[in-house]
Amino acid sequence: MAFKVVGSEKATGGTMHSQHMDIVERCTECSLRSTHFFCELSSESISAFDAIATSIYYPKGAAIFVEGQSPRGIYVLCQGRLKLSICSSDGKTLILGIVEPGEALGLNATISNTPYGVTAEALEPCQANFVRREDFLQFLRQNNDAIFNVTRHLSRHYENAYAQIRSLGLSQSVGEKLAKLLLDWSTAAGEETIDGFSFKRTLTHEEIARMIGTTRETISRTFGDFAGKKIIDVKGATLTIRDRMALQALAGA
């Protein structure tokens, strides 16, 4: 597998990528294969994927691809986290979600040969495996298990889009929307500690506001309200859900 670094040495914070992460050289050696269904391919398919993939390192803030760009191919996120966003003609931005390691990006655009529908930006230093569109389509023709996993992946994205529309459209308050968002994040990336479920909050209040359709001031007040009621605790970038049942009640669960 080839390796490429995106961004200057200054942008990556020093010499190369080793300060941020241990690069996964081959998909066959990646621990995510056992935890994420897109990577659950046969040994033959994984080896074939390795042969056509280029591993790319992105510094924080780098754009993996942008909305409206012609599809170059797919990306499988190996390490780090990305945010997905869309932008209106008048410059308003809506953040659609956070991408965790093991997710595949650009599948719909690559298969349908339509422009990327979102912008993907690195929230922290990231490693992704890139496969050119022509190579990926040929890979699918030759590996039936890959076709099955791509179908499952696209189906899950379809269901997630419905869930997001339902949350934004039917939730009665900002508190309900924020509670649902925090529960989702804790499920995806939280670790159980003696104080509750903790995870790193990489989005600012402004970005969270763009994600659930409100203002930064409202998000700040709602966070303060949750903290005042001892439902959550925020220390720097770490957020801990101290009272999960109370947060679930606010979310209408």
Domain ranges (residues) in the chain: 2-168, 171-250
- DSSP-derived letter for residue 155 is H
Given this structure, which CATH class describes domain 2-168? mainly beta
Residue 15 pLDDT greater than 50, yes or no: no
Distance, in Å, from the CA atom of 147 to the CA atom of 196, rounded to the nearest integer, reads: 39
The predicted pLDDT at position 220 comes to 93
| Cα 129 to Cα 77: distance, rounded to the nearest angstrom | 7
Burial annotation 126-140 (CB, 10 A radius, 16+ → b, else e): bbbbbbbbebbbebe
Q: Which two three-digit tokens encode residue 169?
A: 């459209």
> Average pLDDT, stretch 99-110?
90
Torsion 26-30-32-35 (CA) sign: positive
Q: CA 222, CA 157: separation in Å to the nearest integer? A: 29
| Angstrom distance (rounded) from CA 99 to CA 1 | 23
Quote the radius of gyration of the chain (alpha carbons, Å): 19
pTM here? 0.69
Alpha carbons 240 and 41: distance in angstroms, whole number = 35
Inter-residue contact 61 to 122 (CB < 8 Å): yes
> Which pLDDT does position 43 carry in this prediction?
82
Instruction: State the number of CA atoms in the 13 A half-sphere of 114 facing the CB.
Output: 6
Whether 90 has a pLDDT exceeding 90, the answer reads: no
Q: Summarize the confidence of residues 73-100 as an average pLDDT.
A: 87
pLDDT score, position 14: 34
Cα–Cα dist 250/226, whole Å: 10
Amino acid at 229: K
Q: Both tokens of residue 232? A: 């959550």
Per-residue buried b or exposed e for 152-172, using 16+ beta carbons within 10 Å of the residue's own CB: ebeeeeeeeeeebeebeeebe
Average pLDDT over residues 158-181: 75
Provide the CA 234 distance to its chain's centre, in angstroms. 22
Percent of the chain with pLDDT over 70: 79
pLDDT at 64 over 50: yes
Averaged over 50-57, what is the pLDDT? Answer: 92
Do residues 95 and 85 lie in contact, with contact meaning Cβ atoms separated by under 8 Å?
Answer: yes
Chain mean pLDDT for the chain: 82
- How many helices (H) does the chain have, and how many strands (E)? 9, 13
Contact 154, 108 (CB under 8 A): yes
Tell me the pLDDT tens digit for each residue of 123-149.
Answer: 989 999 999 999 999 999 999 888 888
Residue 13 has pLDDT above 60, yes or no: no
Please give the average per-residue pLDDT across 84-106, as a whole number: 85
Residue 96: predicted pLDDT = 84
Answer with the residue of higher pLDDT: 161 or 239.
239
CATH of 171-250, picked from 2.30.30.100, 3.90.550.10, 1.10.10.10, 3.40.50.1820, is 1.10.10.10
* Contacts with 153 (C-beta within 8 Å, 6 or more apart), sequence order: 37, 38, 104, 107
Length of the chain: 253
pLDDT at position 191 is 82
Please tell me the distance from the alpha carbon of residue 90 to that of residue 178, in angstroms, as a whole number.
26
